[in-house]
Structure 1
Amino acid sequence: MFKPITIQADQRGLLFHKGSYVKRLLPGTYRYLSWTQHTVVVLNIAKPFAVEGKDLQLFLQDEDLLRELDVVRVPDYEVVLHYEDGQFIQLLKPGVYAYWNLLRKHTFVHTDIRQPEIPAGIDRSVVMKLTPYVQCCEIASHESGFLFYDHALQRELAPGKYYFWKGPVSVMVRTVDLRQQQMDLIGQEMMTEDKVTLRLNFVCQYKIVNPQRVLEMKAFDEQIHIQLQLLLREYVGMQKLDDLLKRKEEVASFILSHIQEKGEEFGVRFLGAGVKDVILPGEMKDILNTVLLAEKKAQANLITRREETASTRSLLNTAKLMDENQTLFRLKELEFLEKICDKIGSISVTGGGDLLERLSSLIGEGKAMGK
């Protein structure tokens, strides 16, 4: 009794006898006696070559079958990008794969993951589909990046986006900010030469010019902070309080001139510095306020005395002029009379005599009647 088997144009058959592979079958109809124990596995050539329960190596000994297959071997240290007719299909992990080459053209791109950086030849649109297998690092335009493999420095990275395989090599990227930066020293307690304790708020601007040197230093920011703190203590310790308060701007000049000597060691260029605040203890504030108040009072008294002296000198000069000039004397009498009239509603004067004497007598009588 024959058992017919039909293989279509988009198929291939694999003939087995008693479970052992015999040969491939081309499209057509085949008949085998049922008692001969022949079996046929029909495969779709549009799909990857795979036979359930059978190892691929079993079929790779068949030269006729091998001509119709593209076989790719992926070692442990590689991944392979699989393309069909130029379109990315999948990423192949270590193993052996076979694909029919009858309907589609298969291409394979081998990548050694012991070199973690993804080659520039792989299109970025493909890389975006490999998220589970890829890590991305970005370097901003104001940064400099440094690439490490297994904690060993490889090279400096310019601004941009970089992709690396997640593989046997550990990848790390460290970045250094190249923009102008500012360091604040807040509430620094220091003692002046005359043993006055005060607090300073100090600020310093700098810019990193040698980022690799910065990476070589442990606790970079802390080291700069301590260096500034030591220079501040040195300067304040050499100044009396009054001199320090009068010449606060000289603190910045002293600090900058000395910290610049450390610039190459730190890999930075110091741009500016200055004292923001000088905070004195409460008792010292009261003392300085008392001194300042006394100084201002003395200045006010001096100004008052100068004004009084000037006023007296002016009256003396006026009196001399009136004594020498009768017309001026009469004008002063009229001015005096005008001022009196401004204060009194009406005045009646009878009889002769000097006008000023009569007005004086009238004012005197008015004061007596009021009493």
Structure 2
Amino acid sequence: MKRVRIHLGKVGLVFKNGNYQKVITEGVHWLGFNQSILIYDLSHQFHTTVATEILLKDEALVSLLDIVEVKDNELVLVYENDNFKSILSAGRYLFWKGLINRKFQKVDTSKIYITEHIDKSLFSNYELAKYIRAFEVFSYEKAVLLVDDLYTKTLTGGTYRFWRNNTSVKISKVDMRQLQLEIAGQELLTKDKANIRINFYTNYKVTDIEKALLENKDYEKQLYVAMQLALRKYIGQYSLDELLENKEDVSKVVLEASVEVAKKLGVKILDCGIRDIILPGDMKEIMNQVLVAQKKAQANIITRREETASTRSLLNTAKLMEENEMLYKLKEMEYVEKIADKIGEISVSGNGNMVKQLKEIFAVNK
């Protein structure tokens, strides 16, 4: 006989000649010949090399165990004393009862939506995260959800999680803010055969995400081509001078021509316009020469106008002085004063009229 003590928090399995006989709990026990014992800690999961089917025939042992059966496409979340501990995949698991308060939450991973109540903090835990697909849609975005490549619904801003399984789950996102499309360096011929390059811009917003993503492929590229073709079509109807003078009108025409195409793509064009018109080097030189000639012509016109006005003023003054002798004398004295400002010293002699003498000094012999 052999005396064995089982302490608190422990349990023992008795074997005879290698065959399981019974389970013993806390207390003092006696073992007979050819009997052996395996002692287990109740705080740990129960692992054994003996077939569980044999052990579970003992009702006394079964009453001491939590038996967890996990099927395919299932997971079990294990909580110990209300704290997450581990995740169990397909299989059978045995846990000792009595010492630790364990809870088991079973989830079905064969579906795509996570309908079970799981604390969000666990989604960042690697043990659980590896079974989950996560997609993030920003507040300024919308997305279409495709399940097995079939449209399911439209998603707004937020984080979306789905169980990772054999079902294909995809999302396709679109920025719903105002966007800008640049059509740069377009080489075009004007009506008068001038070769120019134009940088054109378009501001637009996506208004129908299903139409943009599901009914059209690469809607942005299609919008680019549509705007490009409209620009080419209407630029050819203007001469270079008309184009330079009426850039805003050209933009309005291109906008009106592109509205219907944009609507079919699920977008709305807000505005568009010509940013730059770039001329070749020789054309730029010619334009500069024309500009200089125009400015010179304008300057000549202004000069002639001023000369004409000045001559007309002199003529009017002469007529007044001819009719009024006093005005003539005053004008004469004014000119004498101006001449005197430029002379350092003047000597006048005799008792004659001073003004008369000055007149004789400055008079021009005819």
On whether the aligned pair clears a TM of 0.5, the verdict is yes
Alpha-carbon distance between aligned partners in 2 of 1:342 and 1:120, rounded to the nearest angstrom: 108
- Rounded Cα–Cα distance in structure 2 between residues aligned with 1:58 and 1:47: 21
Aligned counterpart, 1:368: none
Q: How does 1:278-289 map to 2 (within 5 A)?
A: 278-289=277-288
What's the counterpart of residue 50 of structure 1?
A: 47
Given that 1:113 and 1:168 are in contact with CA atoms closer than 8 Å, whether structure 2 keeps it comes out as no
- Report the AA paired with residue 115 of structure 1: K
Equivalent residue number for residue 275 of structure 2: 276
2:331 aligns with: 332
Counterpart in the other structure of 1:220? 219
Pick from 200, 203, 206 the counterpart of residue 202 of structure 1. Answer: 200
Residues 329 and 141 of structure 1: CA distance in aligned 2, closer, same or farther (over 3 Å) = same
Cα separation, partners in 2 of 1:320 and 1:357, compared to 1, 3 Å: same
What's the offset of the Cα at 1:361? Answer: 4.8
- Given the superposition, is the C-alpha separation of residues 157 and 102 from structure 1 closer, same or farther in structure 2, using an over 3 Å criterion? same
* Shift of residue 120, structure 1, vs aligned partner: 5.8
The correspondence for 1:118, drawn from 114, 119, 136, is 114
Deviation at 1:363, TM superposition (A): 5.1
Question: In the alignment, residue 42 of structure 2 is paired with which amino acid?
Answer: I
Residue 55 of structure 2 corresponds to 59
Q: How does 1:155-170 map to 2 (within 5 A)?
A: 155-170=153-168
The offset of 1:360, in angstroms, is 5.5
Q: Deviations over 1:272-292 (max 9, x none)?
A: 111111111222222222222
| Equivalent residue letter for 2:58 | D
Partner of 1:8: 7
Contact residue 333 and residue 356 of structure 1 kept, 8 A: no
* 1:357 to partner: Cα distance: 6.2
Letter in 1 for 2:107: T
The residue that corresponds to 1:154 in the other structure is 152
Deviation at 1:323, TM superposition (A): 1.2
Quick one: distance in 2 between partners of 1:273 and 1:84?
63
- Residue number in structure 1 paired with 2:263: 264
> 1:208 Cα shift?
0.7
Contact 1:50 1:56 in 2 (8 A): no
Alignment correspondent of 1:369:
none
- After TM superposition, the structure 1 = structure 2 runs for residues 28-47 of structure 1, keeping only pairs within 5 Å, are 28-34=27-33, 37-47=34-44
Query: After superposition, where does 1:1-371 map in structure 2 within 5 Å?
Result: 2-34=1-33, 37-51=34-48, 53-119=49-115, 121-129=117-125, 130-216=128-214, 217-351=216-350, 358-359=357-358, 361-362=360-361
Structure 1 residue 356: Cα displacement: 6.2
Identity of aligned residues (%): 40
Q: For 1:240-266, what per-residue CA distance to the aligned partner results, in whole angstroms no more than 9, with x for missing partners? A: 222212111111111111211123211
**Native 8 Å contact 2:107 2:116 kept in 1:** no
Shift in CA distance, 356/258, structure 1 to aligned 2, threshold 3 Å: same
How far apart, in 2, do the equivalents of 1:327 and 1:287 lie? 59
CA contact (8 A) 1:139 1:145 kept: yes
Provide the alpha-carbon RMSD of the alignment.
2.2
C-alpha contact 1:6 1:30 (8 A) present in aligned 2: yes
- Please say if residues 144 and 172 of structure 2, whose CA atoms lie closer than 8 Å, have aligned partners that are also in contact: yes
Spell out, residue by residue over 1:45-102, the C-alpha distance to the aligned partner (whole angstroms, 9 max, x if none): 2211222x22333322222221221111111211111122332211111111111222
Unaligned runs of 5+ in 2: none
One-letter code of the match for 1:111? V
- Shift in CA distance, 120/325, structure 1 to aligned 2, threshold 3 Å: farther
Call closer, same or farther: CA 1:323–1:138 in 2, change over 3 Å.
Answer: same
* Cα 1:315–1:282 shift into 2, 3 Å: same
Q: 1:214-237 CA deviation, whole Å, 9 max, x = no partner?
A: 222322221111110000000011
Does the 8 Å CA contact 2:190/2:239 hold for their aligned counterparts? yes
Name the count of aligned residue pairs: 361
Q: 1:82 to 1:161 in 2, by over 3 A?
A: same
User: Which consecutive unaligned segments of at least 5 residues does structure 1 have?
Assistant: 366-371
Q: Check whether the contact 2:223–2:262 (CA below 8 A) recurs between aligned residues.
A: no
